[in-house]
Each structure stands twice: as C-alpha cells, then as structure tokens.
Amino acid sequence: MLQAIIFDVDGTLAETEELHRRAFNETFADQGLGWHWTKADYHRLLKTTGGKERMFRHMAEIGADPASVDVAALHRAKTARYVALMAAGEIALRPGIADIMQTARTAGLRLAIATTTSRPNVDALCEAIFKRPADTVFDVIAAGDEVAAKKPAPDVYMLALQRLGLPATAAIALEDSLNGLRSAKAAGLTCIVSPGDYTRDEDFTAADLLIDGFPALLPWLHAHLPTA
C-alpha cells in the first residue's frame, strides 16, 4: 500500500538549476576566481552530484590545484547567495507538484524529501515557496550533507525511508535526473521521472513511469491511493 511520496528537490520540486548556476557564477566573480560556467558547462558538470564535487571536477578539468581554493568556504558563500536569490522570489514549484502534494495529504500519505542538496538549501526553498519552515511542509527530510555518498548512491533514499519507518515498497520517488533515478532504484523504490531542463537528454529507460510533466502523474496517483 502506498504510504509516502519522496521528492527530489533540484529539478523536481522546482527548476532550481539555473538559479544554482547564477549563484555559482556570481560567487566566482565575487571571489575573483575568473571562473564562469556556461549552460553547456553546467549541463556537463551536473553529471557530478554535489556543488563542492562539481567545483573539484571543474578544477580538475582546468588543471587547477585543488588545494589552491577553499572549496568548503566557497560553497558556503555560494549557498548564501542562492538562499538570497530564492528569498527575493526567483523560484517557483514545477507545475503539478502542488496538486500532487495536496492530493497525497488529502489521502493521508506522508511527504518526504531525499536530495543531494544541503539542508540549508531545502529550508530556503520551503521558506521562499511555502512561506513556512521545511519541517512543517514535509514529514521527513534527508539531505545530501547528512549521508556519506550522494546520488547515484542510494544513501539519501535509505535515510529517508529509515526516518519514515517504511519499507521501500510503501513509497514512491519522484525524480528528474538519471543519477536520481539510479539512487531511488538502488534503494528499492518505484521511481517516476519527469525530466528537468538540464536532464531531458538522459536515459530513463529504467524508470517505472516516464512523464513529460508532473500534472500527468495525477491520474496514476489517484489510481494508486489507498482505499478505505
């Protein structure tokens, strides 16, 4: 019986990647690094999950000494800038997500997050969109800074399931990327994918259901809701 929906954040709850890219570039400029990630650059770098990990990959690609930059501090500065951009209202839920959340709540399902992004980013997103703390919107939050290995490893989904106290068979995962799909499937979850702006060219043949947009999930969801 379906008891919970677990949401990815970036690209799933909201199309955040362009805002992330802007925050990275503004932070790089502010720090005088001379780095600038184009859309093509960021599309490539997104194959690596995690903001700090992407910066290390970028340095490897350009032949920079990884010890020459305090990546952790740079990432904190980028996160602060990203949070400020969201607080200014430059973010919105993807179409269909609000309806899915309301339908799930009405049916008594629990809502969770399993994301590669950090907890501060989740909190900022919820404050910006819902005007409420994240833990009043979602029953469980599992973030990338809480696990040893990020997606495509299953760690963050396993953590979400542990906190929900549910087996994988009692929940579904909503994703937008191949790394997210691999993570969810490795955790034993049914995974439904609606590609985001940066992931439309990825191979989603392993998805349990592939949809163009999240509004298309509502008929499936109604058919799988628990009945009294």
Catalytic residues: 8, 10
Residue 33's nearest CA partner among 1, 58, 3 is: 58
The residue behind tokens 């979602």 is 138
Answer yes or no: are the C-beta atoms of 159 and 29 closer than 8 Å: no
- Written as one letter, the residue type at 11 is G
Question: Element (H or E) spanning 85, and its range?
Answer: helix 71-87
The residue behind tokens 């339908």 is 103
Q: How far apart are the C-alpha atoms of 224 and 221, rounded to whole Å?
A: 5
Q: How far apart are the C-alpha atoms of 94 and 214, rounded to whole Å?
A: 8
CA angle centred on 133, ends 129 and 135, rounded to 5°: 115
- What's the distance, CA 2 to chain centroid? 22
